[in-house]
Each structure stands twice: as structure tokens, then as C-alpha cells.
Structure 1
């Protein structure tokens, strides 16, 4: 960034664990002030690397609740006065296939993995534009880029996140807003698993992924990355 990362404000959903927590720690180490959206702030215990207190604030954010998106944005503006980065990380997995799974499970997938980041972007977009170098990071998945198993509900939701990132690029470009869809394969978190998963020691390290995300967020407006595919194994489909 032309003005450096010091003082910039990043909002990160699902920052209590996994990829979200790794991104929070990395951006904080680079000088960002953090607005962290978590379901239960009182239960947030993994603060390693987030010491400093005054520049890290926790807010209650439930992705399934439509009113939480504008509320969290308003709280962030009241606390920090600006928003420069939005990381849509909160998400779920449900095994909805064409032959199994319920409408309720599909609705839950789409509500949390698609509608929630849509609402967050809509609420934060005016402030990201005002930044002049606003950044949106949608944590999608390799499942949003190819069909490898039968979990079509999850794949649909993650493909929508990729599309949403491209829509942000289009609408925000002239105001300096850049967006990236980050599409990792297996990452060593508590969400990774399944019969086709590699051994955990062969999965992508969340801290390494966070470093890549921080690097993309830190690019100038003339060095935008639209999609970032990160995998721990070779796939002939990509």
C-alpha cells in the first residue's frame, strides 16, 4: 500500500479459529487494527499473536442473522473510524448431495456461505470505497472451482463466493476496491477431513495461507489478484 499497513483496519469473520485466526494474527503482526467478528466473544481464547488490546476489538457476529452485518460494520466504524479490509471467512460444511440432504441444510449452506458475505460486502462497501484502497477477501475453496465429490451444496456455495468476489471487483474498481477469491484445498484446521483427505501433516499450513492472503491484501491497486488457488496436492482438473 502506498500509505503502509499501519493504522489500516481489517474486519475478519470467523476469527476464533483456523484460517480466520491465522489471518488475524498475520495482519495484526503487519500493523493492522482488527475488528473480529465471532459468534461468542466471551469464548474467544486463542489470542496468541493478538496482544495489544487497544487495536483488537471483538464483536458478536452470527453469520445467519441478517441484522448482524450492518450492526458489526456500524460498530467497527464507531470504534475505529474506517474500514480498509473485509475478510469473509466464516462458513460451514454440510453434506448435501443430489440424492441426500435436506432443504433446510441447503438453505443453511447458502445463508451462511453466500448470503452472509453478500450482506457484509453490501454494508461495508461505502467505507471500503472511502478508503481508496479497500480490499475484500472471500475465503472460498477449491470446491468452488471444480466438482470432485458429491457435496454439490457446498460446491455451489463456494462457487458463488468466487462470483461474488468478481462482482466486487467490477463495482468497486474505480474507487480503488479490489477483491480476491481465495480457493484453498485441504488446510490443516479442525474443519478439514473426509475419506479423500491427505494426512494432516501434508495439508496446507493455515499460517502459510495467511501469509499469502496478507501479501495479496498488501498489493497496490495496480497489482490486483482476482483468484488465488492454493493446494497441497496435485489435481489434474486444475
Structure 2
């Protein structure tokens, strides 16, 4: 039976939790990376493997090795662990910029590197990188430092797409605006009920991850407000 396997980080909250549940409902087997592993209530048939994962600790090779030993394959990566510190590029301290780069850029790059051979072996490997509309434009001073890292996340998606194309690997940057999560609610007064629901992002990932190699989407931009470009 051809049951594909996805690794999802940040899977215990926010967008990552909804993506994991949606992929599970689609029939995927999952390896869930969480700082504090906790089996989801919806995993009623043991299709989820849990791994204690901290995006700052360089654990990606160990995670990939353990997941591959469990399932014998890896078909997709959805690294949802993220960090947002709302400061301008002037006010942000060096260690704050480094912390965001570590989680938003370097960790997903390490995960892709660690899983590259299994993704190639799949013949239709998928990497869905949660970017942000902050990776497409800088809307305010206080989003500047975060936007710097998310521009790098979007660039990473394009770089992985280029590197993996001939091996059947397709990478997509998912770029939402405000999504109704605790992270977004902590940095804006925009009404939560007017933000994009995380289940909508999960449904988009479910669509994109299942597209054939001949229907590649490099970027998927999602917004809850009208902007000139997005």
C-alpha cells in the first residue's frame, strides 16, 4: 500500500497542528516534531510517530533517521516551527535576529538536507515551507526584522525547488498574512474572526502536497485583507 510519510514540525499548535490533522485525515503517515511530544487526540490508529524536536538544536538528522527507520520512507516535509520577534531592523538585537534566522531559515534547510536522499527516492518529494507575506513585502517598521528572515525563507523554498527539480522534488513557499493563531493575536489588534483560519492554510497544503510533478506551484500567497499586490 502506497501510504506516504510527512514530517511536520511545530505540530502541537497553530498552523502546524491543523496541517498535521488535515494530512492525517487525507491518509498520510506522520512524524510530528514537537518540543514536548504529545500524541494528538485524533491519532486513533497509531499512524503518528512523535519526536522531541527543538528547531534550535540541530536535531534534524536524528529526526530523519528515526522517522525513516519507523516508516521506511519520507515523502514530504512541512517545517512549521517559527519565531517572530516584532522589532525593527534597528531595534532588534543581534541575538534576536540570529534566533529568528535559526528557526525560520536554518532549521528547515537542515531538515531538507537531512531528508534529501529519501525525498529523492520518493520520486515525488514535497517541501512545503511556511513563509509569510512578510517574506514578500515589508509592511511596517516593527515587522522589519521578521520580514528579513521570512524573505530568506521564501528564497530557501526557491533554492530547494531548483536543487530538487530533476529528482522529482517540488518545493513551495506558503505565504499567508494574518492567520488566527496565538502568534498573530499577540502582535496585532486585527479582529481574530477576520484573520485567515489555520484550517484554510491546512487545506491549501493538502492540495499543494498532492499535486503531480507536472503541476508545481512555487509560491502560494494568502491574505485576509486587500492589498495592492497580495
**Shorter-chain TM-score range:** over 0.9
Task: Give the Cα separation in 1 of the matches to 2:172 and 2:189.
Answer: 25
5+ residue gaps in structure 1?
Answer: none
Measure the CA separation in 2 of the matches of 1:23 and 1:84: 15
Task: List 4+ stretches of structure 1 deviating above 3 A.
Answer: 194-197
* Cross-structure match for 1:163: 155
Partner of 1:122: 113
Question: In structure 2, which of residues 9, 24, 31 is the aligned counterpart of residue 35 of structure 1?
Answer: 31
Q: What displacement does 1:195 show?
A: 6.5
Q: Which of 33, 50, 54 lines up with 1:62 in the alignment?
A: 54
How big is the shift at 1:137?
0.5
Structure 2: state its 5+ residue gaps: none
For residue 162 of structure 1, give the secondary structure of its aligned residue in structure 2: helix
Aligned match of 1:51 in 39, 44, 50?
A: 44
1:183 aligned to 163, 166, 175, which one?
Answer: 175
- Please list the CA deviations of residues 14-70 of structure 1 after superposition, one character each: whole Å capped at 9, or x if unmatched: 0001100000000000110000000111xx26x2433222x111101110012x010
Report the number of matched residues: 229
The 1:63–1:182 alpha-carbon spacing in structure 2 relative to 1, beyond 3 Å, is same
Within 1, Cα distance between the matches of 2:41 and 2:210? 23
Aligned counterparts of 2:87 and 2:191: Cα–Cα separation in 1 = 24
Question: What is the TM-score with the length of structure 2 in the denominator?
Answer: 0.95
Aligned to 1:15: 11
Distance in 2, Cα, partners of 1:137 & 1:79: 22
Question: Is 1:228 aligned to residue 227 of structure 2?
Answer: no
Distance 1:96 1:187 in 2: 19
